[in-house]
Amino acid sequence: MKRIHIKTCVGAALMSLFLVGCSDLLNETPRSSFTPEYFKTQPGVMGGLTYMYSHLRGIYGQAYYYNSCETGTDESTYGQSADGNFKDFDLTGVGSMTSNNFPMTVLWNATFPNINTANGVIEYGTTSGVSDALLSEARFFRAFDYFLLVQTFGGVPLDLGAGELKFNTSTSRVSKRNTVPEVYTKAIFPDMLLAIKNLPDAGRVTGGATKTLARLYLAKAYLTYGWWLQNPKNIPTYPTCDRTDPDGHNAAWYFQKAYDYAVEGIQNAGGNFALQSTFYDVNVGTNDRNKEILLYADHTQTSELYNGGTSLTGFGSGAAPDNFAGWMQNWSYTAITSSKTNWSSPSLVSSVQREAAQALGRPWTRMAPPINVINNTFADKSNDSRYDGTFTTVYRGNWAKGGVTNATLYNANGMQVANGDAILSFLGSEPAQPIDYSNSVYKSSIGAGVLPGRADFVLPPSGISRRVFPGLWKLGPYRTDNGVGLGSPNAGSTRPYNIAKFSELFFIAAEAAVKGATTKAITGTYANDGSAYSLINILRARAGKWKFSNANNATLVADNSATLVAATPTTITLDYILAERSREYYGEGYRWYDLVRTQTWADYAKTYQICGNNYGDHTPVTYTRTIPDNYYLRPIPQGQLDGLEMTADEKKAYQNPAYQQ
Amino acid sequence: MCNSILIKLCKLLILISNYLIMKQTISCLRAPGILFLLLLFSISVFGQTITVKGTVKDATNATLPGVNVRMHGSSTGTITDIDGKFSLQVPSNAKLEFSFVGYASQVINVAGKSTINVTLAEDTKALSEVVVVGYGTQRREAVTGSVASMNGDKLRDVPAANISRALQGRIAGVEMSQTDSKPGSGMQIRIRGTRSLNATNDPLVVLDGIPFSGSIGDIDPNTIKSVDILKDASATAIYGSRGANGVILVTTSKGSKGQSAQFSYNGYFGVKTAIKFPMMNGSEFAAMRKMTTYANTLDEADDVNTDWQDLLFRTGVVQNHNLNLSGGTDKGNYNFGASYFRDQAVIPLQYYNRYSIHSSLDQEVGKLIKVGFTTNSIYSENHGNNLGSGGALGASPIANPYNADGTWKTIIQQQTSGSQWVFTRHALESLGEQYVDLTRGFSSYNSAYGEVKIPGVEGLKARVNVGADYIQSNYGNYTGVGVFSGSVTNPSTASIRNSHTLKWTVENLLTFDRTFNKLHRVNAVAMYSAEKSTYWTSNTTAKNIPADAFQFYNIGQCNSADITINPANQNYIESGLTSAMGRVMYSFNDRYMLSATVRTDGSSRLAPGHKWHTYPAISAGWNMKDEAFMQSVTFIDRLKLRAGYGETSNQSVDPYKTLGLLATSPYNFGDNTYATGYYVSQLPNPKLGWEFSRTWNFGMDFTLLKSRLTGTVEYYVQNTDNVLLSVSLPPTSGANSYMANIGATQNKGLEVSLNGVVLDNVNGWTWEVGLNVYTNKNKLTKLASGAQQDLGNGWFVGHAVNVIYDYKKLGLWNTTDPDFKYLQTLQPGGNAGMIKVLYTGEYNADGSPKRAIGPDDRQILDCDPDFQGGFNTRVAYKNFDLSLVGSFVSGGILNSTLYGGTGYLNNMNTRATNNVKVDYWTPTNTGAKYPKPAGLQSGDNPMYATTLGYFSASYLKVRTITLGYNFNQKWLQSAGISKMRIYATVENPFVLFSPYHNESGMDPEPNSFGDQNVAVAGAHSRLIVGTNTPSTHNYLIGLNVTF
């Protein structure tokens, strides 16, 4: 017995000495995360591709980047609660554009990791035999990111440290910017062409990249590059280079290609993509992911994790990957008051409460529409459905959902209103009668006025201020889990953020035509003679069709197509296209790029009118923006410069000229 | 496979603790040969008039060689030879002083005698000063490295739940910084500064000889016998890479041999009151709001004044009880103890409970074998850790929490943030089952050893140490419908997180400890060790829990769509280290000491080909006072000089850093098709190797004026090379960062510790004073590729690692400023009353600035203090004693995010939350410190708001004042009580010389990491003041009884 015990122990001791030396002790096997080697497998490639889509959330729906696309254009200015991020971009002397402006960091920091992941997927996937269709998704997104970058910053590096368009696993901290033509001709065009060749007609996944999508982007890239080569306003580029095409083509050639690919996109969409029958249908939350949308940064209310991580019910983070762009140009409508009791001894109550509804949502009052948008861009508010399909112009009572039990409340003129009735209306035009802004008896609490006989408070276009303005209905939240209450209005929007639309193919073809491309008859669903006039009229005809009125919160079936088409000028100009684009895509983040591409930013955004920051400010003030030519390129973010291991002079030269100190 | 066998083996080894293992071990060891170092010293002998001879013996009648025999008041002297004999020529009327380390000195009148035989008695006080040096102990006199010690009783002068809190400000060169003010939270410990930039700077904790895998906060201070801190490389070298940042050796109490059983109780009870944050009251806030464009909500009125802090904070309670039993037999000893600690924070529902038991046993088996074990088991509960002060600080002071009928509101409307849950004591205490946030931790730290004396070789022992630790943490959170939310229908959420750490260590040791001829002491150790640590954690979250009663206990009852297992929150980390070490300590006559160490480490964390590193350390000491020429310097009792050089390494990067990393990015394709994306977040580095430091240490220990003043002065220079860095890459590299060996740092420092006895029992009065002052100059000496600065990471060659790179605030812009006409050039959109920062650009000929203020104007602001330290004093009269422990810091920057831009509590625009009470600019108050409300902003904050958070970090703080009474009345003995003491303590009574305290009334110590308790997270490594659980004044009473 004792002997056995001794032997066991001796054996154990010997083993301990042996095993302690076991080389396994110094080897590593990760068991909870992947290394870059994973991209050599098919599931790894799929994971890389999923990231290509999810990286869109870092850009689209990210409100600060969104702000950079709108504030400072004719579409938006800063709102009363605007922080420096917004004021800096307004260019009216309330801030300044520097390399420290956060919004540009958003784009820069979201794109390069994706470009490198795309490089890895393409490089590893090619050697391990992954299909061309899959790899073309990576090609599409690589080109997509480079296209965004080149429009925003000018030339950007194609070599991340391992060679041009190569997967970088080196730890290089130097960087050299390529020129604009290099970025287009070496990266964007070849990738897009391959993508068009290899991508499927219908997406591999819901919202997946398709031939039509790649055609839209190639057409737009050709159009943009055509403008760049032509450079009619002599806007400087950077890094400095000649405006000659390495591939030997001229601007006209690219305008023609833009036209051709856009038309090809329109004609070959098949059953996969189509215009919606009304403008309302394009943007209403119930119809998200409709056939008009070619690309979106998707979101969901069904899973917090897959939606990106922050609370679906509490306060959204106010950071990517949340979709929170819609909070910015939304004002604090909850300040509107009605009274529970007769106005002779009022008991104020918030009659429009914060609700997760498309017309309402979370208000940050960071951006506001200038009065010019209401009066000029959307001059026709009755025939053209796009004003009604863009803005919340009537704020309706929802106090019952917020737990206030009164069946009716006292509102303007002492009239009683019920839940669902209009509490505040933004008028489409200046009323003939004078508005009583006194708020002496009927306290709107927001400085809104009273018109005789109306139960709702009112504000005319001239009363639009940085603080009180029509909200942006398009980007409002839509959820199905509100029950009978107000829902979760503070979470990030669970709607997909739309990035690219089928309708834009018409605009691109029309713009290319205006720039001199030879037109040709278009066949199929959208058959027409292919002229700019006909292409634009397809969208204007659609804009005349109504099925629902947001202002009335009621069905409204009408067809004003003929009226709208009749109003279209027979000669389409660039100005007309830009005006139409704004009506179609107002507040969606297109504007800065449209104005920069067409070199019209300084002209279009030069001045705007809006009332002040305070309730009761009803006097429009004209503001003037200073937009130097070299602001057409945005500053390279300071974080990039700080992260580089280069001399001060080299870093200075890396920055765009307007922001070199 | 290797793994599971090893784990089984560990268990086996712990169970067995059988001497046979030891026998076997010896034959298997691949130890380096034991080195004998012999040094020869010349001994000079002086003589005069008559010759006195004699023999010196100890109490056991053994002869003592090496005893100093010296003519009193002169330098004439000699030492005894191998047989304890001496011979000395002295005047016949001389006095001879006999002194020897560890023995009480004797002075004898020669009085013409030619033979004087002396018996020296052991000096128990001197002998008790044994210092733990790692793999052995050394008498204080023989130590050659830099070792600071504190015994358990002294440590407990500061009643604290945590050793590091008790040590704060008490040991030179050891900086303990508060990182969190919540109950049960730990401290950041830095021994001689920061050397690594991204690798850990935390020291190694060794509990009873085995490297400790838990947090130092897991060790019950009641059980501590001593804490020894190894500060320099020659002392830490034996711990190799793990000791690169210093080593804290914690020794727990054991019974002593032959001691009769002793039973003791130690306990205290106290209350804590919150030190409130300096927020505006209602009228102050309303006045500021008038200067902005924000209007009151329906819940706000200018005449309301709600102090939300008063409505939230409660009186906290802290208590600690410890029972201990120890004793010994003639062949062994034992110690058993149990403790209970509870700390109830001033924030309702927030508390920390700790139950711990420990036991240890040493037993000799026969003549050659000794076995023993120590085990510490701890169960803790930490509740309400996700609660803070933020809800109360942010709440609008003009919002009324009561309805018209006097009942509580559950929700109030605030400005831009909308509906807010009313965060009060009443609301929290009413939650009941609707809220739980509980971490239940269990940890078990076990070590066992067996030791055998090798027969035939005197002093040679073989030993095996086996350590096995298991730590588990179980976290559960439940928040009911509408709780903490502005929406009453906000869904309930629950989450669980389980983590486990399993760690084993095996050490095989051969030690040789022998004194030759009573003069040459040799202690040699050879060791071969291996350790492995495995950590894994899992996490699940869910929402819409079907019933409050379920809390987090059955997440499976939720709809599957409501359950989330996020891949980013599951983790597995494994690392291994294997090492061999040899050390020789030699001392001649306790006068000349030498210690030499070689260690080699292999780490799994580093890249193949770079896994191994070998490094030496050597140090020497000289007890100078024993030299004949020093004998005449009578005011010096002891004087020792020390010098050491050593290298250490640091492998403390997270495992898998050499391989690169893909981060996950979940996505939905359509409303309910889910997929997980992957992208490169960290690049691989196949060359990642060791970071290593070379340290020189020079020290002097002295005892003066008949032991009335003792002290230590040390100077060190530590150069660290191949510093492990997580290098931030420019975004264009496609990845965020990679880990690399880049750069070099240097730490230079001076440390002074003094302890004095001012009054030594004068009319019953005793007064002792202690002081330590230290300074550490930290500097980055090199960065990658010769760069002088790395702006992305905020590193600058020639500056400390801990710097802030930001604008330098000069004051506020005023219309009377001579350069006000350039305001719009320097600051487009700027206004009078906004923050004015330093412009460093060029000027045009007309004196106007050439450009606007921009990133190039940022400055390097050094955050490290100039010097810091601590002091203590104790006055005793008869049975009473009054003691005081304090600490101080001079210079450096304290970053208070309450005042700065990231806390959102000093927005100066009343947009949502309350504002810190500040003196702000108005047209009639142009000399204010804070800018004009609603002036030019950057983000939601005033432009350059971060500069408002920087305060001088200087302070002098009394941490504790304790008044105690020791009973020694007769009745005690008849009651069987051998010792009894009661005491009352005030903690945190006051702060002096702190600009931050003067302005805010707050504690001048940080309370959060840079990414916690703020609205906008900053760098984790920078400690800040945030909206954490407030600091408190504590009032305790305690009782110690020993039977």
Neighboring chain B residues of A401 at a CB cutoff of 8 Å: none
Q: Is the Cα torsion angle A128, A129, A131, A136 positive or negative in sign?
A: positive
C-alpha span between B1043 and B1041 (Å, rounded) = 7
Note whether B852 contacts A: Cβ–Cβ < 8 A: yes
Task: For B422-443, give the DSSP string.
Answer: ---HHHHHT-GGGEEEEEEEEE
CB contact under 8 A, B679 and A48: yes
pLDDT band at B855 (very low <50, low <70, confident <90, very high): confident
* Tokens linked to B184: 């049960």
pLDDT, residue B664, reads 92
Neighboring chain A residues of B25 at a CB cutoff of 8 Å: 13, 17
Whether residue A239 has a cis bond before it, omega within 30° of 0:
yes
Q: Answer with the residue of higher pLDDT: B792 or B1007.
A: B1007
Between vectors from CA B361 to CA B360 and to CA B364, what angle results, nearest 5°?
Answer: 160
Between vectors from CA B527 to CA B522 and to CA B533, what angle results, nearest 5°?
Answer: 145
C-alpha span between A99 and A153 (Å, rounded) = 12
C-alpha span between B872 and B869 (Å, rounded) = 11
CB contact under 8 A, B566 and A309: yes
Q: What are phi and psi of B93, to 5 degrees?
A: -100, 15
Question: Is residue B415's pLDDT more than 90?
Answer: no
Q: Nearest Cβ partner of B938 from A19, A84, A302?
A: A84
Lowest mean pLDDT among A117-126, B134-143, B400-409, B937-946: B134-143
* Tokens linked to A165: 């368009």
Q: Nearest Cβ partner of B668 from A29, A81, A300?
A: A300
Q: Nearest Cβ partner of B564 from A17, A50, A304?
A: A304
Q: Mutating which of A7, A35, A183 best tests the B interface, going by the most B Cβ atoms within 10 A?
A: A35
Whether residue A157 has a cis bond before it, omega within 30° of 0:
no
> 3-class SS at B686?
coil
Which helix (H) or strand (E) is A510 found in, with range? helix A504-514
C-alpha span between A122 and B886 (Å, rounded) = 63
Question: Is residue B24's pLDDT more than 80?
Answer: no
Cα–Cα distances in Å, from A44 out to A120, A209, B673, B860, B879?
10, 18, 18, 44, 75
pLDDT, residue B652, reads 66
C-alpha span between B490 and A183 (Å, rounded) = 48
Q: How far apart are the first and last CA of chain A?
A: 87
- B426 min Cα distance to partner chain A (Å): 22
Q: Which one-letter DSSP state was computed for residue B399?
A: B
Q: What is the residue whose two structure tokens read 């640091």?
A: B650
Question: Is residue B28's pLDDT more than 60?
Answer: no
- B364 min Cα distance to partner chain A (Å): 19
Neighboring chain A residues of B413 at a CB cutoff of 8 Å: 334, 350
Percent of chain B with pLDDT over 90: 35
C-alpha span between B683 and B726 (Å, rounded) = 11
C-alpha span between A442 and A452 (Å, rounded) = 12
C-alpha span between B984 and B965 (Å, rounded) = 9
CB contact under 8 A, A54 and B677: yes
Q: What is the residue whose two structure tokens read 């003129």?
A: A413
pLDDT band at B785 (very low <50, low <70, confident <90, very high): low
CB contact under 8 A, B671 and A302: yes
CB contact under 8 A, A25 and B578: yes
Q: Which of residues 711-730 of B touch A (CB under 8 A)?
A: 727-730
pLDDT band at B650 (very low <50, low <70, confident <90, very high): confident
Q: Which of residues 205-244 of B touch A (CB under 8 A)?
A: none
| Maximum CA extent, chain A | 113
Task: For B611-649, give the DSSP string.
Answer: -EEEEEEEEEEEEGGGSGGGTT-TTEEEEEEEEEEEEEE
Q: Nearest Cβ partner of A14 from B24, B670, B732?
A: B24
CB contact under 8 A, B679 and A614: no
**Residue pairs between chains A and B whose CB atoms are closer than 8 Å:** 349
> 3-class SS at B75?
coil
pLDDT, residue B16, reads 34
**B575-632 tens-digit pLDDT:** 999 999 999 999 888 889 999 999 998 988 888 888 888 889 999 999 888 888 887 8
Cα–Cα distances in Å, from B797 out to B34, B196, B790, B803?
44, 14, 9, 11
The CA R_g of chain A, rounded to the nearest whole Å, is 28
Neighboring chain A residues of B841 at a CB cutoff of 8 Å: 661
Stretch B545-569: mean pLDDT: 92
Q: Say which residues have a Cβ less than 8 Å from residue B529's Cβ, sequence separation at least 6.
A: A20, B505, B506, B507, B508, B578, B579, B580, B581
Question: What size, in residues, is chain A?
Answer: 661
Across A429-585, the runs of DSSP E, i.e. the strands, are 457-459, 471-472, 497-501, 545-549, 554-559
Cα–Cα distances in Å, from A41 out to A54, A353, A377, B222?
20, 51, 52, 56
CB contact under 8 A, B490 and A485: no
C-alpha span between A390 and A586 (Å, rounded) = 7
Mean pLDDT of chain B: 84
Q: Mutating which of A9, A23, A28, A98 best tests the B interface, going by the most B Cβ atoms within 10 A?
A: A28
* Tokens linked to B976: 């069987």
Q: Mutating which of A169, A172, A478 best tests the B interface, going by the most B Cβ atoms within 10 A?
A: A169
Across B742-879, the runs of DSSP E, i.e. the strands, are 744-762, 765-782, 789-790, 795-796, 803-806, 809-812, 835-837, 859-862, 867-877
pLDDT band at A3 (very low <50, low <70, confident <90, very high): very low
**B511-529 tens-digit pLDDT:** 998 888 878 889 899 999 9
Q: Which of A493, A494, A504 is nearest to A536 (CA)?
A: A504
Q: Say which residues have a Cβ less than 8 Å from residue B965's Cβ, sequence separation at least 6.
A: B879, B880, B881, B981, B982, B983
User: Nearest residue on chain A to B734, judged by CA atoms?
Assistant: A113
C-alpha span between B462 and B16 (Å, rounded) = 16
Across B891-972, the runs of DSSP E, i.e. the strands, are 893-895, 937-938, 941-942, 950-952, 955-967
- B702 min Cα distance to partner chain A (Å): 44
Question: Is residue B186's pLDDT more than 80?
Answer: no
pLDDT, residue B835, reads 94
ipTM attached to this prediction: 0.94
* Tokens linked to B26: 């010896």
CB contact under 8 A, B611 and A100: no
C-alpha span between B177 and B51 (Å, rounded) = 61
Q: Mutating which of B678, B683, B724 best tests the A interface, going by the most A Cβ atoms within 10 A?
A: B678
Neighboring chain B residues of A313 at a CB cutoff of 8 Å: 485, 487, 490-491, 543
**A96-153 tens-digit pLDDT:** 899 988 999 999 999 999 999 999 999 988 888 889 999 999 999 999 999 999 999 9
**A210-253 tens-digit pLDDT:** 999 999 999 999 999 999 999 999 999 999 999 999 999 999 99
Task: For B272-316, give the DSSP string.
Answer: EEE----B--HHHHHHHHHTSS----TTB-TT----HHHHH---E
Question: Is residue B35's pLDDT more than 60?
Answer: no
pLDDT, residue B483, reads 93
The CA R_g of chain B, rounded to the nearest whole Å, is 32
Q: Which of B435, B409, B398, B385 is nearest to B186 (CA)?
A: B385
CB contact under 8 A, A80 and B293: yes
CB contact under 8 A, B602 and A53: no
C-alpha span between A81 and A61 (Å, rounded) = 19
Question: Is residue B436's pLDDT more than 50?
Answer: yes
Contact B247, B131 (CB under 8 A): no
CB contact under 8 A, A9 and B851: no
User: Nearest residue on chain A to B544, judged by CA atoms?
Assistant: A313
Burial (CB count <10 Å: 0-12, 13-18, 19+), residue B407: exposed
Question: Within its chain, how far is the Cα of B740 from the centroid?
Answer: 26
pLDDT band at B889 (very low <50, low <70, confident <90, very high): very high
Neighboring chain B residues of A94 at a CB cutoff of 8 Å: 829, 936
**Taking the CB of residue A430, how many other CB atoms lie within 10 A of it?**
11
Q: Nearest Cβ partner of B734 from A19, A31, A116?
A: A116
Question: Is residue B737's pLDDT more than 80?
Answer: no
Q: What are phi and psi of B736, to 5 degrees?
A: -80, -40
Q: Mutating which of B497, B658, B680, B860 best tests the A interface, going by the most A Cβ atoms within 10 A?
A: B680
Burial (CB count <10 Å: 0-12, 13-18, 19+), residue A547: middle
Neighboring chain B residues of A490 at a CB cutoff of 8 Å: 418, 486-487
Neighboring chain A residues of B418 at a CB cutoff of 8 Å: 334, 354, 362, 490
Question: Within its chain, how far is the Cα of A10 from the centroid?
Answer: 72
Note whether B911 contacts A: Cβ–Cβ < 8 A: yes
C-alpha span between A225 and A257 (Å, rounded) = 11
Q: Say which residues have a Cβ less than 8 Å from residue A386's Cβ, sequence separation at least 6.
A: A279, A378, A543, A583, A584, A586
**B451-481 tens-digit pLDDT:** 999 888 888 999 999 999 999 999 999 999 9
Q: Answer with the residue of higher pLDDT: A467 or B71.
A: A467
- B331 min Cα distance to partner chain A (Å): 24
Neighboring chain A residues of B29 at a CB cutoff of 8 Å: 17
Note whether B405 contacts A: Cβ–Cβ < 8 A: no
Across B651-764, the runs of DSSP E, i.e. the strands, are 661-668, 674-682, 691-704, 709-721, 724-728, 737-741, 744-762
Burial (CB count <10 Å: 0-12, 13-18, 19+), residue B172: buried
CB contact under 8 A, B490 and A314: yes
Alpha helices in A72-210 (DSSP H): 84-90, 102-127, 132-153, 180-182, 189-198
> 3-class SS at A24?
helix
Question: What size, in residues, is chain B?
Answer: 1043
Q: Which of residues 2-31 of B touch A (CB under 8 A)?
A: 2-3, 5-6, 9, 12-13, 16, 18, 20-21, 24-25, 28-29
